[in-house]
């Protein structure tokens, strides 16, 4: 069985760059754990979460 990870990129109260850094950390960990694919939803954020 093969597994994939999907990130919607939503992390409340975070700056967009921090959210992307978190997504990258999750993708790297998933790869280390043997996940086959990683999918990232495109973000349409224009303002910072507060």
Supply 29's token pair. Answer: 């960990």
30: CB partners within 8 A, 6+ apart: 5, 38
4-50: pLDDT as tens digits: 988 776 677 777 778 788 888 988 999 999 999 988 876 655 555 44
Q: How far is CA 34 from CA 3, 6, 45, in A?
A: 8, 14, 31
30-41: pLDDT as tens digits: 999 999 998 887
Q: For the chain, what are the domain ranges?
A: 4-40
Rounded Cα–Cα distance for residues 18 and 42 (Å): 15
Cα first-last separation, the chain: 40
pLDDT of residue 43: 61
pLDDT of residue 49: 47
């Amino acid at each position: 069985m093969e597994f994939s990870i999907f990130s919607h990129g939503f992390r409340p109260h975070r700056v967009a760059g921090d959210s992307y850094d978190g997504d990258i950390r999750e993708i790297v960990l998933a790869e280390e754990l043997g996940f086959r694919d990683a999918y990232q939803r495109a973000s349409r954020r224009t303002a910072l979460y507060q």
